[in-house]
Each structure stands twice: as structure tokens, then as C-alpha cells.
Structure 1
């Protein structure tokens, strides 16, 4: 599963990427995690507010950081 965390590289975006990695490991899920900070790429997804989470090319969360439980649900649904 490919998971992208979109953001400018701010503390909130970096923290979200770390949390996604931690939750995937806790759930024993193999993911390919990529942090995307290129604004052109972010806009291609139609994301206007970061941080955002994209799973397998589909925007799942935009404009805020979900809780650990919400991340678990997102990861387990794929």
C-alpha cells in the first residue's frame, strides 16, 4: 500500500508522517510511505489545505491531522 503525506514540510506534516509510520508498524502493515512537499504535486491531487493523507492515489484526509485511531481505520480499510 502506498501512503503519501502531503504538506509543506512543516512540523505538523512531519509529525503526521511519523504517526502514520508508527501506526502501520503497530498494525503490522507494510506500507510505502512518501512525504510530498512539492506544491505542484499537492495541487494535482486537488488538495488546498495540508497536511493531507493519500492512500493508493486517493485523498483520504485533507486540512488536518487525524487521530491515531482514525489513521488505524484508514490503513486497515485498504
Structure 2
């Protein structure tokens, strides 16, 4: 599983990455968590506002920090 965090490196983007990493650790899932700061890459997904979470190429959320429970739902 590949999970991408799209964002410029702002506080909300960092928080989103922390939440995703926590969800992966708590569920014991083998996943690659990647921070993507290239806004051209975000635009390729149609993401105009960050932070955004992409799981295996599918945009799950854009423009807000997801909850831990929501991330767990997406990856389990």
C-alpha cells in the first residue's frame, strides 16, 4: 500500500502525516508513507487545496486534516 501526503510542509500537512503514520503503526499495516511537496504532483490528482491524503492513487481527503479513525477506515 502506498499512502501519499500532499502538501507544502505547513503545520496541517505535518499533522496529517503524523496521523497517517500513527494509523499505519496501530493497525500494523505494511505501507509506504510518502510526503509529496511538489504541487504539480498534487494537481495531477486534481487536488487544489492541501493537505490531501492519497491511498494507492485514490484521493481520500483534500483541504483538511483527517481524524485517526477516518484514516484507519481508509487503510484497513
Band the TM-score falls in, shorter-chain normalisation: over 0.9
Runs of 4+ with deviation above 4 angstroms: none
Matched position secondary structure for 2:22: helix
The alpha-carbon deviation at position 28 of structure 1 amounts to 0.7
- 1:2 aligns with 2
The alpha-carbon deviation at position 58 of structure 1 amounts to 1.0
- Cα distance in 2, alignment partners of residues 28 and 9 from structure 1: 26
- 1:42 aligns with 42
- 2:12 aligns with 12
Structure 2, gaps ≥5 residues long = none
The alpha-carbon deviation at position 15 of structure 1 amounts to 1.1
TM-score by length of 2: 0.95
User: What is the count of residue pairs matched by the alignment?
Assistant: 76
- Cα distance in 2, alignment partners of residues 17 and 6 from structure 1: 9
- Cα distance in 2, alignment partners of residues 72 and 54 from structure 1: 13
What's the Cα RMSD here? Answer: 0.7
Structure 1, gaps ≥5 residues long = none
